[in-house]
Amino acid sequence: MPGDGIGPEVAAATVRAVDATGVAIEWDRVELSGEVIERTRQSVPDSVIESLNRTRVGLKGPVTTPVAGGFQSVNVALRKKFDLFANVRPVRSLAGIKTRFQDVAVDMVIFRENTEDLYSGLEHEVVTDVVTSLKVITRTASTRIAKYAFEYARRNGRKKVTAIHKANIMKLGDGLFLRCCRETAELYPEILYKELIVDNASMQMVMRPETFDLLLLPNLYGDIVSDLAAGLVGGLGLVPGANMGESHAVFEAVHGSAPDIAGKGIANPTALMQSAVMMLLYLGERDAANRLQNAISKVYAEGKTVTADIGGTATTDQFTDAVIAAL
């Protein structure tokens, strides 16, 4: 699903890089864009549903969502449709990239609940100029994402999970989320469990990013904190993600459709390429995944062929050519 905005550019680059690893992937291309949603009047087009039902694995570019009106977010609709409940976003420093946090090795993984919270889309104008937006928090979804994070920690030898909340104010909603995290933590005594209020967590992430390991958050805080974390390692052009369900998985970058640079051929395809690395690992293609990740790292370590967001002058295609040469 190449998406729209810079989506088709970074998707073409990523497909080229994945194919260059030699892995035998048969790509099924389906259109998922603001334009097709408006035309078909379906929040997730039938062609996308049919394709994902068949393949169960997707690589997705960003899709534009109209602000303050218009159609429902296709991203939210897709995550709900396939019950892609865990949004997993590894944020790591890459050698060679100049950031304000140069001397700090950032290596955190964000686990964002992906199906409810304020993204339930339940809003209501009670009377003129008075609106309520429903924040939905359930035991099922909160425990499910908590388990997912702790299982990941156990499987990958990670040491600490920090649950992030605002349960001092939203005592019932965030309180329930927190209770589910605590109960789950008790099942994993070998993993250190901490809690932080979201405003303090934001400050700590900027001051001491190296102290974070795995972060566990409800949907909205997870969304915001992901972009903050991306800023620590060099920006949205870099950070990958995965939307994981019981039976389906869709891999996509954290960034959006970047209308300010769309069509110029200068977008950084690294975030989607690293999402493809996650996809290859999920598919059991460990060798191809490692080779692609190493090639990306090598291009950054050399620092000669990087895109404008990282301070270079390379186009999307030139960066991709460099990655393929490094392969």
Selection from 107, 102, 97, 99 nearest residue 301 by Cα: 97
Out of 119, 193, 221, 300, pick the active-site residue: 119
Query: In this chain, which stretch among 129-137, 180-188, 249-257, 298-306 interacts with ligand NAI, using CB under 6 A?
Result: 249-257
Per CB under 6 A, does 90 bind ligand NAI? no
236 binds ligand NAI (CB under 6 A): yes
Given 32, 108, 271, 326, the residue binding ligand NAI (CB under 6 A):
271
Nearest distance, CB of residue 6 and ligand NAI, angstroms: 6
Element (H, E) at 48: helix 46-55
Under rule CB under 6 A, residue 4 binds ligand NAI:
no
Identified catalytic residue from 117, 223, 309, 321:
223
Question: Taken in order 257, 259, 263, 266, is the CA torsion positive or negative?
Answer: negative
Of the CA atoms within 13 Å of residue 30, those in its CB half-sphere come to 19
- Confirm or reject binding of residue 33 to ligand NAI (CB under 6 A): no
The alpha carbon torsion through 136, 140, 146, 148 (nearest 10 deg) reads -120
Q: Strand ranges (DSSP E) for 84-201?
A: 86-92, 107-113, 123-127, 130-133, 160-165, 192-197
Neighbours of 235 (CB within 10 A): 19
Q: In the bound complex, what is the minimum distance in angstroms from residue 35's beta carbon to ligand NAI?
A: 13
Q: Is 119 among the catalytic positions?
A: yes
Is-catalytic flag, 223? yes
Tell me whether residue 317 is one of the annotated catalytic residues: no
Residue 256 makes contact with ligand NAI by CB under 6 A: yes
- 199 tagged catalytic: yes
Which of 14, 75, 87, 114 is in the footprint of ligand NAI by CB under 6 A? Answer: 75
Q: Which of 226, 257, 293, 305 binds ligand NAI (CB under 6 A)?
A: 257
CA distances from 258 to 196, 199, 281 (A): 31, 27, 27
Among 51, 65, 120, 297, binds ligand NAI (CB under 6 A): 65
Q: Spell 52-85 as b/e; 16+ CB within 10 A means b.
A: beeeeebbbbbbbbeeeeeeebbbbbbbbbbbbb
Using the rule CB under 6 A, give the single segment among 101-109, 200-208, 259-267, 285-293 that binds ligand NAI.
259-267
21 versus 270: smaller Cβ distance to ligand NAI: 270
CA distance 74 to 1: 12
What contacts 63, CB < 8 A, 6 or more positions away?
Answer: 3, 4, 5, 7, 32, 33, 34, 37, 74, 75, 257
Minimum distance, C-beta of residue 253 to ligand NAI, in the bound complex (Å): 7
Q: Which of 19, 66, 13, 71 is closest to 41 using CA atoms?
A: 71
Please select the residue that binds ligand NAI; options are 63, 110, 178, 295, rule is CB under 6 A.
Answer: 63
Q: Any idea which residue has 């975030």 for tokens?
A: 271
Best CA proximity match to 42, nearest among 77, 89, 2, 94: 77
Considering only the stretches 103-111, 158-166, 260-268, 294-302, report the one whose residues sit in contact with ligand NAI under the rule CB under 6 A: 260-268
Query: Annotated catalytic residue: which of 19, 46, 199, 287?
Result: 199
9 binds ligand NAI (CB under 6 A): no
Position 242 contacts ligand NAI (CB under 6 A): no
Task: Kindly state whether residue 261 participates in binding ligand NAI, applying the rule CB under 6 A.
Answer: yes
Q: How far is it, in rounded angstroms, from Cα 22 to Cα 176?
A: 47
Q: Which of 87, 99, 115, 268 binds ligand NAI (CB under 6 A)?
A: 268
Residue of 117, 166, 174, 193 marked catalytic: 166
91 belongs to the binding site for ligand NAI (CB under 6 A):
no
Distance in angstroms (rounded) separating the CA atoms of residues 73 and 287: 35
Q: Which residues bind ligand NAI (CB under 6 A)?
A: 6, 10, 62-65, 75, 236-237, 252, 255-261, 267-268, 271, 309
Active-site residues: which are they? 119, 166, 199, 223
